[in-house]
Chains A and B, each alone.
Chain A
Amino acid sequence: MKALRFLTLTRGRQRLHWTDVLSYAYLLAGLFVMFAPVLWLVMSSFKTESAIGQFPPSFLPYSQKTVVVQGHDKPLPLFRVAGEGGQTRVLAQVSRIGIMATMVDPAQPDQTVQVNIRERVPVNELKFATSNYTDLFGKFTFGAYLWNSVFITVVATLLTLLFNSMAAFALSKYQFRGQKAVFLLIIATLMIPPTIILVPVFLVINSVSLLNSLWGVILPAVATPTGVFLLRQYMLTIPDELIEAARMDHASEWRIYWRIVLPLSAPALAVLAIFSVMWRWNDFLLPLIVLSKSEFFTLQLALNSFQGELNTQWHYLLAMTVITLLPVTLVFAFLQRYITTGIASAGVK
């Protein structure tokens, strides 16, 4: 009963009512559940390879301190060792056999000490392993994946805007025979989920020989019923008198389309552009069946194939994931209001 009162109250009070407290508690919990996983991922992506395997994991990217000791090629890991008499010393580990470790004082490189591994604690320091990110471009063909994703997203979005606005223009500003049928046909495709026609779409893409081509992912996606619908509804609000006036001035129909109607539809075009970028950047199933050679992989496919490998190199995989979610996060941070109002008005994603 009390919970119901809390849920149904819509009017605020002067003082902070206990239901308000509950609301904010709920919202804060939501903030934690929604963002903490992402934050954890981002912090983990800065951990070194050895730090990422540590259990229990830490939130901040701590990694073991190393030191260069004379007479050893590689930097040696540092440990804090409890010596006799209660004082602790910081020693570098040379090698370890069984439970005994051979250690050396960095100040006196000649003397080695045998230490039981239970008596030592690693010396950790806060270090952001940016090499996880820089390595991606050197060691892997990550640049190619990034390029494929960007190319598909940009080209498909431009074509989507062009094709859909042309169709919307025809469906809102002309009266021709069969216009209604065309509109209904396009809207009907909203009802047909792409997963259902997966096999024949594969056949069509194969027979126009677009398998393993970025265009095989771009072309099937450029005609979106959502886009046509969104733009048509917007263009209906543009007064016909403007178009009549332009016709009086002997403007060609094409010129009317791109000089008058397109600029006036800018808000709707912007919403569609945001949607289209999101759709294409996040697309998975269509690229999965069309692009099977790794040189054509998009970021999503690369992430998927990378995580499926036996020895998942989590430090690279996490960095890759962060780069993949970065553009969407930026778009969201700056255009949140357009996206949410766009969805609320169109009722589509």
Chain B
Amino acid sequence: MQFLSFFFNLLEPLFKLGQRWLGTSRLGWLFVGPNLLVFGLFTFLPILINLVYAITGGVNLMPVQRPYTGAENFQILFECQDYFDLATCRKDVFWRAMFNTLKFSVLQVALMVLFSLVTAMVLNRKIIGRGFWRGVFFYPVLLSPVVVALIWKWLLQSQGVFNAGLVALDMPPVEWLTEGGWAFFWTVFVSIWAHMGFYTLILLAGLQAIPSDLYEAAQMDRASPLRTLTRITLPLLMPNLIVVLVLAAIRAVQVFDEVFVLTGGGPGSATTFIVQFIYQTGFAEQIHLYGLAAAASLSLAIFLILLTLAQLRLTRASQAGQKVK
């Protein structure tokens, strides 16, 4: 505590000086200064540089030393001789990563919303120890992606508990993480396991905000449970559902660390997703192709902007719908 006040007293002369020069209200700039500096250096500046990278080639890191190549990076990424045969594309891994990401996102988001909705509805009932149960589903959210991946890798390895179960049931063991289909299934499962609690929490907050007299009125009118769900619960939960849908989608598109540790993108490129492609082209391979990685990032960014715009549209539509009702 003493150290803390010493530290803060140390900074006081600086701000007193600022106060004398800038005046009280403009002193705000001094207070936001450090934050803006960090944002500028590590967020805004990189956004600009990313554009430069995307239209330049070569292996140099410094933007001024990179030759201008125009749209070549995008051509490398997107050009195919025959668009119905991925093998003829110049970067077929990129296409595979895109398709994998799309497949993963659609599956994962749908299942994520379903499971967190069911869980939130169960938690919203009158149950003993709601705080405890809420915590149970939330716990994995706090674990680091690496830890999550290692937990499941240990269970799914060829000598792991899942195969022990199969052998005990007289079934042949399965290579869960090195057979394409299964590896993909487990990436979806593990990411839902790890993040479900977060979305459950948002939906639960929404459910608890629905006034209970609406349900009482529905009961008086002998509304069927299906009607209660589709006419009361879901419409009133819609804002939260949209938030969950969009947040989950934005995160799903950017899936990386868990999968990277769990399967390493394999077998082959069965679980290689777009961020891993960016990481590998830019940093992991022998020749660091920064331009190509930046071009891929930019494509991802455009995709995410579209998602966000879709969210705005959806929110507005649902708000308008509610006003009409």
Residues of A within 8 A of B (CB): 1, 4-5, 7-12, 19-20, 23-24, 26-27, 30-31, 33-35, 37-38, 40-41, 44, 53, 55-57, 162-164, 166-167, 169-171, 174-177, 179, 182, 185-186, 189, 191-193, 195-208, 219-220, 222-223, 228, 247, 252-255, 257-258, 278, 281-282, 284-285, 288-289, 300, 303-304, 307-308, 314, 317-318, 321, 324-325, 328-329, 331-332, 336-337, 339-340, 343-344, 347, 349
Please tell me if the beta carbons of B278 and A200 are within 8 angstroms of each other in the complex.
no
Partner-contacting stretch, out of B103-111, B253-261, B317-325: B253-261
Q: How far is the CB of A54 from chain B (nearest CB, A)?
A: 8
Please tell me if the beta carbons of B164 and A347 are within 8 angstroms of each other in the complex.
no
Partner of A34 from the list B31, B137, B145 (CB cut-off 8 Å) is B137
Return chain B residues, CB-CB under 8 Å to A34. 136-137, 139-140, 193
A167-B32, A223-B38, A304-B146 known; A344+B205 contact, CB < 8 A:
yes
A37-B155, A56-B167, A282-B143 known; A30+B133 contact, CB < 8 A:
yes
Q: List 21 A-B contacts (CB under 8 A).
A: A1-B225, A7-B229, A11-B212, A30-B119, A31-B133, A34-B140, A35-B139, A53-B159, A169-B31, A170-B29, A185-B39, A192-B43, A195-B256, A195-B300, A252-B19, A255-B12, A258-B8, A284-B145, A317-B150, A318-B154, A324-B146
- Binary per-residue interface labels of chain B (118-139) against chain A in the complex, 1 for a CB within 8 Å, 0 otherwise: 1101101111000101111111
Q: How far is the CB of A195 from chain B (nearest CB, A)?
A: 5
- Binary per-residue interface labels of chain B (279-308) against chain A in the complex, 1 for a CB within 8 Å, 0 otherwise: 100110000001001100110110010001
- Binary per-residue interface labels of chain B (6-29) against chain A in the complex, 1 for a CB within 8 Å, 0 otherwise: 001001101110010000111111
Please tell me if the beta carbons of A257 and B31 are within 8 angstroms of each other in the complex.
yes
The 3 closest A-B pairs by CB, nearest first: A12-B126, A282-B144, A170-B31
Q: Is B55 an interface residue when CB atoms closer than 8 A count as contact? A: no
Please tell me if the beta carbons of A166 and B135 are within 8 angstroms of each other in the complex.
no
Return chain A residues, CB-CB under 8 Å to B298. 196
Return chain B residues, CB-CB under 8 Å to A200. 45-50, 53, 294
The residue of chain B having its C-beta at the shortest distance from the C-beta of A38 within the complex is: B151
Partner of A252 from the list B12, B47, B126, B301 (CB cut-off 8 Å) is B12
The residue of chain B having its C-beta at the shortest distance from the C-beta of A257 within the complex is: B31
A218 to B50 Cα, complex, angstroms: 22
Q: Is B59 an interface residue when CB atoms closer than 8 A count as contact? A: no
Please tell me if the beta carbons of A254 and B141 are within 8 angstroms of each other in the complex.
no
Return chain A residues, CB-CB under 8 Å to B310. none
Please tell me if the beta carbons of B215 and A314 are within 8 angstroms of each other in the complex.
no
A10-B124, A24-B127 known; A203+B279 contact, CB < 8 A:
no
Please tell me if the beta carbons of A337 and B131 are within 8 angstroms of each other in the complex.
yes
Please tell me if the beta carbons of B293 and A343 are within 8 angstroms of each other in the complex.
no
A340 to B201 Cα, complex, angstroms: 7
**Taking each of A185, A289, A318, A349, which has the highest tally of chain B beta carbons within 10 Å of its own beta carbon?**
A349
A197 to B226 Cα, complex, angstroms: 46
Return chain B residues, CB-CB under 8 Å to A328. 142-144
Return chain A residues, CB-CB under 8 Å to B167. 55-56
Please tell me if the beta carbons of B160 and A57 are within 8 angstroms of each other in the complex.
yes
The residue of chain A having its C-beta at the shortest distance from the C-beta of B29 within the complex is: A176
- Binary per-residue interface labels of chain B (61-82) against chain A in the complex, 1 for a CB within 8 Å, 0 otherwise: 1110000000000000000000
A315 to B267 Cα, complex, angstroms: 25
Q: Is B87 an interface residue when CB atoms closer than 8 A count as contact? A: no
Which secondary structure dominates where chain B touches chain A? helix
A343 to B47 Cα, complex, angstroms: 28
Please tell me if the beta carbons of B42 and A56 are within 8 angstroms of each other in the complex.
no
Number of B residues, CB within 8 Å of A: 107
Please tell me if the beta carbons of A332 and B155 are within 8 angstroms of each other in the complex.
no
The residue of chain B having its C-beta at the shortest distance from the C-beta of A286 within the complex is: B42
Return chain B residues, CB-CB under 8 Å to A339. 138, 142
Given contacts A30-B119, A34-B140, A41-B151, 17 further A-B contacts (CB under 8 A): A4-B226, A19-B125, A40-B154, A166-B32, A174-B27, A175-B25, A186-B35, A196-B297, A204-B45, A223-B39, A258-B8, A284-B144, A284-B257, A289-B283, A307-B150, A332-B135, A339-B142
Please tell me if the beta carbons of B229 and A206 are within 8 angstroms of each other in the complex.
no
- Binary per-residue interface labels of chain B (159-173) against chain A in the complex, 1 for a CB within 8 Å, 0 otherwise: 111011001100000
Please tell me if the beta carbons of A30 and B12 are within 8 angstroms of each other in the complex.
no
The residue of chain B having its C-beta at the shortest distance from the C-beta of A318 within the complex is: B154
A41 to B146 Cα, complex, angstroms: 14
A111 to B282 Cα, complex, angstroms: 66
Q: Is B100 an interface residue when CB atoms closer than 8 A count as contact? A: no
Q: Is B275 an interface residue when CB atoms closer than 8 A count as contact? A: yes
Please tell me if the beta carbons of B34 and A163 are within 8 angstroms of each other in the complex.
yes
Q: How far is the CB of B294 from chain A (nearest CB, A)?
A: 5
The residue of chain B having its C-beta at the shortest distance from the C-beta of A337 within the complex is: B131
**Taking each of B43, B159, B202, B233, which has the highest tally of chain A beta carbons within 10 Å of its own beta carbon?**
B43
A179-B28, A206-B61, A332-B139 known; A198+B293 contact, CB < 8 A:
yes
Please tell me if the beta carbons of B283 and A196 are within 8 angstroms of each other in the complex.
no
Partner of A325 from the list B144, B164, B168 (CB cut-off 8 Å) is B144
Q: Is B93 an interface residue when CB atoms closer than 8 A count as contact? A: no
The residue of chain A having its C-beta at the shortest distance from the C-beta of B45 within the complex is: A204
A55-B159, A182-B32, A199-B53 known; A8+B121 contact, CB < 8 A:
yes
Please tell me if the beta carbons of A167 and B31 are within 8 angstroms of each other in the complex.
yes
Q: How far is the CB of B257 from chain A (nearest CB, A)?
A: 4
A38 to B315 Cα, complex, angstroms: 38
Please tell me if the beta carbons of A343 and B198 are within 8 angstroms of each other in the complex.
yes
The residue of chain B having its C-beta at the shortest distance from the C-beta of A5 within the complex is: B225
Q: Is B250 an interface residue when CB atoms closer than 8 A count as contact? A: yes
- Binary per-residue interface labels of chain B (239-267) against chain A in the complex, 1 for a CB within 8 Å, 0 otherwise: 00001000000100010110011001000
Please tell me if the beta carbons of A30 and B41 are within 8 angstroms of each other in the complex.
no
**Taking each of B134, B136, B147, B279, which has the highest tally of chain A beta carbons within 10 Å of its own beta carbon?**
B147
Q: How far is the CB of B34 from chain A (nearest CB, A)?
A: 5
**Taking each of A166, A289, A318, which has the highest tally of chain B beta carbons within 10 Å of its own beta carbon?**
A166
A325 to B127 Cα, complex, angstroms: 29
A253 to B31 Cα, complex, angstroms: 10
Please tell me if the beta carbons of B147 and A321 are within 8 angstroms of each other in the complex.
yes
